[in-house]
């Protein structure tokens, strides 16, 4: 069967589970290129040829959780653990600010060493010093009231990947005690509180089926997060999943493109995992509809300890020191690195319909 995709303006056509499955499994090369073009054009309609820069501060690699895929899992004794103090975090913000960043992403393992008060104080000091900057948190599951207090303290955005929308698959990726239901509850709490909220998943994680991915895309279509992080699963030695093969870059790009069509205004990073899996991954991600990059602002001495998976890219375009090279790389494919806050933009978005309206109609033919 040949599946063709035709980008046709103003003819949004429903795509559901069946169509997504075909797109994930049966695209020929030409259709795949058309999909990427349609996705990149959709991103340009929403945000122009801009790629937003976020300064990523990995402030702790301690984690209370024991996710089977992750190198920072609690039971991984081979990790040299580190934590940044509030002052060290502020120092990284200062460095980032001077380079032009106007979004800081505080990312960490789920580390309760920093209690709610600590996080609130960090949020307040950053927002106090840099009121013109957006602050994104990516620190795992905490309760609704806590989220609310982070929001009140000034945090703008929250990243919490759903990892998989299938409860059985979620259970296969996580230790007993972690439940998809609480992850989903957290995501809807975050959105309701007013955070620009990010979800996302890994492509090719162990035991993942095509139907799982279809489920992930349908979840994204319906939940409509403001941000979506998608990267290939990459094995980490010393973890239970260290012997599994990495996810496919191509399938990851297809998922990025489909997400762009399902949520035209989403902020979608070309993830570090994508850049780690393929030297051209970052560019390919942008050309498949991504519009965010997250250069690393972690203290260079600690960076290699934030080893979620093996061979993580921590140099080149992934590092804030090389921001000019990254800008150049993006320019070479027709994009401008944009240092503004780069908030989610609702204006100009086509009305959301259950199909996750794309300005392009996806037309299937055999
Ligand atoms: N490969 C790819 N991505 C991973 N993540 C965690 N471990 C891995 C891995 N081995 C992703 C998860 C998590 C995010 C911080 O990184 O999706 O939410």
**Interval 232-243: pLDDT, tens:** 999 999 999 999
Residue 125: pLDDT over 70: yes
Q: Identify the pLDDT of residue 350.
A: 47
Per-residue model confidence (pLDDT) at position 318: 83
pLDDT of residue 37: 97
Is the separation of the CB atoms in 240 and 233 below 8 Å?
Answer: no
Question: For position 348, what pLDDT does the model report?
Answer: 54
How far away, in angstroms, is 70 Cα from ligand 1 center? Answer: 6
pLDDT, residue 1, reads 36
Ligand 1 center to 291 CA (angstroms):
20
State if residue 233 touches ligand 1 by the CB under 6 angstroms criterion.
yes
Ligand 1 pocket test target in 76, 160, 165, 202 with most atoms within 8 Å of CB:
202
Average pLDDT over all residues of the chain: 92
Checking if the pLDDT of 102 tops 50, the result is: yes
pLDDT for the residue numbered 347? 66
Q: Is the CB of 306 under 6 A from ligand 1?
A: no
Indicate whether 225 pLDDT > 80: yes
Query: In this structure, is residue 1 part of a structural domain?
Result: no
Closest ligand 1 atom to 308 CA: 7
Name the residue of 183, 233, 276, 281 to mutate for ligand 1: max ligand atoms within 8 A of Cβ. Answer: 233
Decide if 69 is inside a domain. yes
Q: Is the pLDDT of residue 7 over 70?
A: no
Answer yes or no: are the C-beta atoms of 308 and 107 closer than 8 Å. Answer: no
| Higher pLDDT, residue 361 or 275 | 275
Specify the pLDDT at position 268.
98
Residues 106-133 have a mean pLDDT of 98
Given a cut of 50, whether residue 113 has pLDDT beyond it is yes
> Whose CA is closest to atom 2 on ligand 1?
233
Q: Is the pLDDT of residue 13 over 90?
A: no
| 11 pLDDT higher than 90 | no
Provide the edge-to-edge strand list for the sheet that holds 336-338. Answer: 292-293, 50-53, 336-338
pLDDT value for 355: 35
115 or 346, higher pLDDT: 115
- Give the CATH number of the domain where residue 104 resides: 3.20.20.70
pLDDT at 57 over 70: yes
Question: Which pLDDT score, from 0 to 100, does residue 316 have?
Answer: 82
Residue nearest to atom 6 of ligand 1 (CA): 70
Q: What is the pLDDT of residue 358?
A: 39
Look at residue 320 in the predicted model and tell me its pLDDT.
Answer: 81
Is 156 part of any domain? yes
On the question of pLDDT at 169 being above 90, the answer is yes
Does residue 176 lie within any of the structural domains?
yes
Q: What percent of the chain clears pLDDT 70, i.e. is strictly above it?
A: 91
- Residue 314's pLDDT is what? 87
Domain of residue 183: give its range: 6-363
Q: What is the mean pLDDT of residues 332-346?
A: 97
Compute the distance from residue 61 Cα to the ligand 1 centre, in Å.
13
pLDDT tens digit string along 60-92?
A: 999 999 999 999 999 999 999 999 999 999 999
Specify the residue with its C-alpha closest to ligand 1, atom 8.
70
* 93 closest CA partner among 130, 40, 44: 130
CA of 266 to the centre of ligand 1 (A): 20
Asked if the model's pLDDT at residue 346 lies above 90, the reply is no
- CA-closest residue to ligand 1 atom 3: 233
**Model confidence at 299: pLDDT above 80:** yes
- Spacing, Cα 358 to ligand 1 middle (Å): 28
Out of 4-13, 83-92, 241-250, which region has the weakest mean confidence (pLDDT)? 4-13
For the chain, the domain total comes to: 1
Closest protein CA for atom 13 of ligand 1: 161
Distance 108 CA to ligand 1 centre (A): 12
- Determine the average pLDDT of the residues in 203-209: 98
> Percent of the chain, pLDDT > 90?
88
Q: Probe ligand 1: pick from 228, 231, 246, 313, max atoms within 8 Å of CB?
A: 231
**Residue 15, pLDDT score:** 78
Q: pLDDT digit string (tens) for 14-51?
A: 679 999 999 999 999 999 999 999 999 999 999 999 99
Instruction: State which ligand 1 atom lies nearest to the alpha carbon of 239.
Output: 10
Look at residue 137 and tell me whether its pLDDT is greater than 90.
yes
| Residue 344 CA to ligand 1 centre (angstroms) | 23
202 CA from centroid of ligand 1 (Å): 7
320 occurs within a structural domain? yes
Instruction: Give the Cβ contact number of residue 242 at 10 Å.
Output: 15
Q: List all residues 6 or more positions away from 159 whose beta carbon is below 8 Å from its beta carbon.
A: 105, 107, 136, 137, 138, 198, 200, 227, 229
Task: Please check whether residue 237 lies inside any domain of the structure.
Answer: yes
244 lines ligand 1 (CB under 6 A): no
Q: Is ligand 1 within 6 A of the CB of residue 109?
A: no
């Amino acid at each position: 069967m040949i599946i063709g995709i035709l980008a046709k303006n103003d003819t949004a056509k429903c795509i559901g589970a069946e169509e997504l499955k075909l797109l994930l499994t049966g695209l020929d090369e030409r259709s795949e290129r058309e999909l990427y073009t349609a996705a990149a054009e959709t991103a340009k309609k929403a945000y122009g040829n801009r790629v937003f820069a976020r300064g990523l501060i990995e402030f702790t690699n301690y984690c209370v959780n024991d996710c089977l895929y992750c190198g920072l899992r609690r039971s991984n004794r081979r990790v040299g653990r580190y934590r940044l103090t509030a002052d060290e975090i502020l120092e990284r913000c200062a460095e980032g600010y001077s380079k032009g960043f106007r979004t800081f992403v505080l990312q960490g393992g789920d580390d309760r060493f920093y209690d709610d008060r600590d996080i609130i104080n960090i949020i307040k000091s950053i927002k106090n010093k840099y009121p013109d900057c957006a602050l994104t948190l990516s620190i795992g599951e905490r309760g609704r009231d806590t989220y609310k207090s982070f929001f009140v303290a000034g945090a703008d955005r929250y990243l919490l990947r759903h990892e998989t929308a299938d409860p059985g698959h979620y259970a296969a990726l996580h230790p007993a005690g972690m439940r998809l239901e609480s992850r989903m509850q957290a995501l809807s709490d975050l959105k309701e509180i007013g955070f620009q909220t990010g979800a996302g998943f890994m492509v090719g994680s162990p035991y993942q089926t095509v139907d799982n991915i279809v489920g992930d895309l349908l979840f994204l279509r319906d939940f409509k997060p403001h941000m979506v992080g998608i990267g290939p699963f990459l094995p980490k030695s010393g973890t239970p999943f260290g012997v599994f093969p990495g996810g496919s870059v191509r399938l990851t790009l297809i998922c990025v493109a489909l997400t762009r069509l399902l949520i035209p205004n989403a902020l979608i990073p070309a993830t570090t995992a994508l850049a780690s899996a393929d030297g051209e991954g970052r560019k390919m991600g942008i050309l498949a509809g991504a519009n965010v990059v997250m250069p690393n602002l972690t203290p260079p001495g600690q960076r290699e300890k934030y080893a979620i998976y093996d061979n993580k890219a921590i140099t080149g375009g992934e590092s804030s020191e090389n921001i000019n090279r990254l800008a150049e790389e993006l320019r070479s494919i027709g994009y401008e690195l944009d240092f503004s806050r780069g908030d989610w933009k609702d204006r100009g978005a086509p009305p959301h319909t259950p199909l996750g309206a794309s300005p392009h109609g996806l037309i299937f033919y055999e």
